[in-house]
A = this chain, B = another copy of it.
């Protein structure tokens, strides 16, 4: 009897608006390429080890469901944060994984995630080669932070950038409407611990009918609070409404996070937890007190990674594309690889799926180049904007049911 050609896919790490579009791409391409069953592991490799998985044909019943999945934020299958041990440290875990893969007659294993997920792909493909297993292991990149190397950008980044830019425009309109004969400062806090890609995306709010933020501070450049105050005061000489975007991860020259200043270096909340939120709240309080004007803070918070109602069409389509490309690569015999997005042209924007050996992916974060931040360290360059702008284009209209965006959710029956 011929062996079944089955495939399994999982999702890992922080959610994005388009991680399910990659899942949809995997599913649709696997079907088209004649795979027998398409399994989804629940909560990634962690759930897989507990034999938690579903046959995706019990979940996705139509092309309509595939379209709905593309419009559903966060991990449809559930995610995990689970790093596989080194092979020599715990061979039993690898044996277990391959036992389950053999039992399910899996030919290809697709993992959608960030750096840790690519590490999983590397270890599993290494183990398979060493032990003579025939399964193929392919990675699909995902992260709103855009901090993965080798790929021009990551699926998930464009949609987060679009939501951030659109919300920044709306916040600036809100501020302008409120300001008459007195100053108002708005400090917006954007996600990104070490990489400022998302914070820089607020610059896209500078359009023909919006000035955009006045100052943008990324974690790539040491933050100088006195220069910051001076610059803000200067701006208030010529305009009443000042909008400042800061990354949650901006740090002083001595390495302390700005948000740690709220309560000194050992700032903890009332319950003893080290508190790394509140950068914008701290800075708004500081500016308000120093300048004596109204200053407010706004955190975009987790909304920026789950607002699929404001997803970018380019992003959703590319996420779908890299999912499908991973299946194609596995089907053609590749293993231990990550699919990437190669930019073919800026204008008109064109991209295509490429493929890289996961062993080449160093575990370091891709930061915003210093040359894409202005000399003063308080705005991004034209090159930065030209790089991001194509990634936020176009929409996928949500499927609205009873006034709200509808999502595809796991049927646990």
Contact = CB atoms under 8 A, between A and B. Distances in A.
A281 interface: yes
16 contacts: A15-B173, A43-B181, A72-B173, A73-B170, A73-B173, A74-B176, A76-B177, A78-B177, A79-B177, A170-B306, A174-B302, A204-B403, A269-B281, A273-B285, A303-B303, A309-B310
Those 10 A-B pairs whose CB atoms lie nearest each other, nearest first = A271-B289, A74-B177, A75-B177, A43-B180, A392-B403, A74-B173, A170-B306, A174-B306, A393-B403, A209-B409
Contacts of A401: 207-208
A378 interface: no
B403 A74 contact: no
A299 B298 CA distance: 8
Interface in A116-135: none
A389 interface: yes
Interface in A193-225: 204-205, 207-210
Interface string A142-182: 00000000000000000000100111011101101111110
A178 B176 CA distance: 37
A303 B167 contact: yes
Given A79-B178, A166-B309, 4 more contacts: A15-B173, A73-B174, A79-B180, A171-B306
Nearest to A46: B180
B170 A307 contact: yes
A304 B393 CA distance: 24
A169 to B, nearest CB: 6
Contacts of A303: 167, 170-171, 298, 300, 303
A358 B207 CA distance: 41
Given A74-B174, A177-B79, A273-B288, A404 B162 contact: yes
The listed residue with most B CB atoms (<10 A of its CB), out of A272, A273, A300, A309, is: A309
A243 to B, nearest CB: 12
Nearest to A303: B167
Interface in A354-413: 389, 392-395, 397, 400-409
Contacts of A78: 176-177, 179-180
Contact of A404 (B43, B73, B80, B392): B392
A35 interface: no
Nearest to A50: B181
The listed residue with most B CB atoms (<10 A of its CB), out of A177, A285, A395, A405, is: A177
A335 interface: no
A128 B210 CA distance: 40
Interface string A249-292: 00000000000001100000111110001000110011011000
A301 interface: yes
The listed residue with most B CB atoms (<10 A of its CB), out of A285, A301, A310, A405, is: A301
A247 interface: no
A305 interface: yes
A196 to B, nearest CB: 20
B299 A170 contact: no
A47 B179 CA distance: 11
B173 A407 contact: yes
A312 interface: yes
A296 interface: yes
Nearest to A13: B178
Contacts of A405: 166, 169-170
Contact of A389 (B14, B47, B169, B403): B403
A29 interface: no
The listed residue with most B CB atoms (<10 A of its CB), out of A170, A180, A181, A273, is: A170
A22 interface: no
A115 interface: no
A97 B171 CA distance: 32
B177 A209 contact: no
